[in-house]
Amino acid sequence: MTQTGGTERAVSFAGAVKTFGAVRAVDGVDLEIGRGETVALLGRNGAGKSTAISLLLGLNAPDAGTVELFGAAPESAVRSGLVGAMLQEARAVPRVTVGELVAFVARRYPAPMPVARALELAGIGELAGRRVDRLSGGQTQRVRFAVALAGNPSLIVLDEPTAALDVEARHAFWQSMRAFARRGHTVLFSTHYLEEADAHADRIVVIDRGRIVADGTGEQLKRAAGGSLVSIDLAGRPTEDLAQLPGVRTLEIRGDRALLRTDDSDATVIALAARNAIRGLEVTPASLDDAFLALTAHELEPELETL
Ligand SMILES: Nc1ncnc2c1ncn2[C@@H]1O[C@H](COP(=O)(O)OP(=O)(O)OP(=O)(O)O)[C@@H](O)[C@H]1O
């Protein structure tokens, strides 16, 4: 029996590094996830999400730093049945039924949940007798979710769980995931979808080029990346002084409009009014998309610059 019960931490990365040749896929990650949290790992393609998940599951060892699950080595937590995972590669198992597959996996865990419960939580109770190699993409994805749930793990790790699902299937999937999280389980999922991270996670961790560049709620991310966008018609007026206005972080000129990203839209608008510069004024809160782009925007890679 592993001594993993006492810690309040489900996941702990400390200075974790994983390189593949010259690529630092995970580049000094420090991350702690408490029991019961639902956390989204958000990043572009190639940001390092799957590599971080592979370290977390003990599928890869870090080159430097440490990764722990429930205060123990990942392999030991996985062996103790504390972790369920839904990874990207789906392997179709021929001929077995959904119920047989989930029961097979459940038997490998010390304290599984009843198969009917796992199917119900994944929203596929009616598929128990169907062959797993004859299902739609959305159904297959939910079978994989049921497989991850089967052992009744404390932590469930989902690598891009809604990739390739249509809107309806996605909605159903998140309902199931939330039902599981409400029972006090810890959930970590990776996604490219900002709306999903915002809607379904308590906390969003943004990863870019192997490093964590933001960690907080959707609201905090929006604030960190600049609270509002103020735009005006330039009507031929000069633009040099706009970047110096109170609150303004960045200035972008699009045709005859100026777009100001500001931390204090009131102060920015008052200053524009004092300059008699208000024409076609629009003030909008920065969206999570804006926040994500601001956090992960970087210069062109050197090799691309020379093309
Ligand atoms: N086995 C491997 N061998 C070599 N390079 C790898 C390997 N696995 C990942 N990489 C590289 O590490 C970097 C991070 O990849 P990773 O798959 O972790 O990103 P990701 O954020 O999960 O991307 P995606 O959203 O596209 O799945 C990428 O540059 C990738 O090419």
pLDDT digits 0-9 by tens, 163-193:
767 888 888 888 888 988 988 899 999 998 8
Taking the CA of residue 53 as reference, the ligand 1 atom at the shortest distance is 18
Q: Domain 226-285: state its class.
A: alpha beta
Rounded mean pLDDT, 289-302: 65
Task: Look at residue 130 in the predicted model and tell me its pLDDT.
Answer: 95
Residue type for position 39: V
- State whether the beta carbon of 50 lies less than 6 angstroms from ligand 1: yes
Of the pLDDT bands very low, low, confident and very high (cuts 50, 70, 90), residue 268 is very high
Least confident of 14-28, 45-59, 89-103, 269-283: 89-103
Is the pLDDT at 307 greater than 60? The verdict is no
CA proximity to 185, closest of 281, 276, 118, 108: 118
Rounded mean pLDDT, 68-92: 87
% of the chain surpassing 70 pLDDT: 92
How far does the centroid of ligand 1 lie from the alpha carbon of residue 293, in Å?
20
How far does the centroid of ligand 1 lie from the alpha carbon of residue 25, in Å?
6
CA distances from 138 to 20, 90, 102, 122, 164 (A): 32, 12, 17, 11, 8
Residue type for position 219: E
pTM reported for the whole predicted model: 0.81
**Residue minimizing CA distance to atom 25 of ligand 1:** 45
Is the pLDDT at 304 greater than 50? The verdict is no
Is the pLDDT at 302 greater than 50? The verdict is no
Instruction: Look at phi and psi of residue 21 and say left if phi exceeds 0, alpha if psi is from -120 to 50, else beta.
Output: left
Task: Look at residue 7 in the predicted model and tell me its pLDDT.
Answer: 67
pLDDT digits 0-9 by tens, 1-22:
334 445 689 999 999 999 999 9
**Separation between Cα atoms, residue 193 and residue 210, nearest integer Å:** 18
pLDDT digits 0-9 by tens, 202-219:
999 999 999 999 999 988
Least confident of 135-144, 229-238, 261-270: 135-144
% of the chain surpassing 90 pLDDT: 57
CA proximity to 188, closest of 169, 208, 202, 199: 202
- State whether the beta carbon of 48 lies less than 6 angstroms from ligand 1: yes
**Residue minimizing CA distance to atom 31 of ligand 1:** 46
How far does the centroid of ligand 1 lie from the alpha carbon of residue 48, in Å?
6
Could you tell me the sign of the dihedral formed by the alpha carbons of 243, 245, 248, 252, in that order?
Answer: negative
How far does the centroid of ligand 1 lie from the alpha carbon of residue 145, in Å?
23
Residues written for the chain: 307
**Residue 17, burial from CB neighbour count under 10 angstroms (0-12, 13-18, 19+):** middle
Task: Look at residue 152 in the predicted model and tell me its pLDDT.
Answer: 93
Of the pLDDT bands very low, low, confident and very high (cuts 50, 70, 90), residue 280 is very high
- State whether the beta carbon of 51 lies less than 6 angstroms from ligand 1: yes
- State whether the beta carbon of 47 lies less than 6 angstroms from ligand 1: yes
Rounded mean pLDDT, 252-273: 93
How far does the centroid of ligand 1 lie from the alpha carbon of residue 150, in Å?
28
ipTM of the complex in this document: 0.96
The preferred substitution site among 18, 20, 89 for testing ligand 1, maximizing ligand atoms within 8 Å of CB, is 20
The answer to whether the CB of 249 falls within 8 A of the CB of 279 is: no
Rounded mean pLDDT, 52-69: 96
Pairing, β 155-159 against β 248-254? unpaired
Q: In what order do the strands lie in the sheet with 282-285?
A: 248-254, 257-262, 228-233, 282-285
Mean pLDDT across the chain: 88
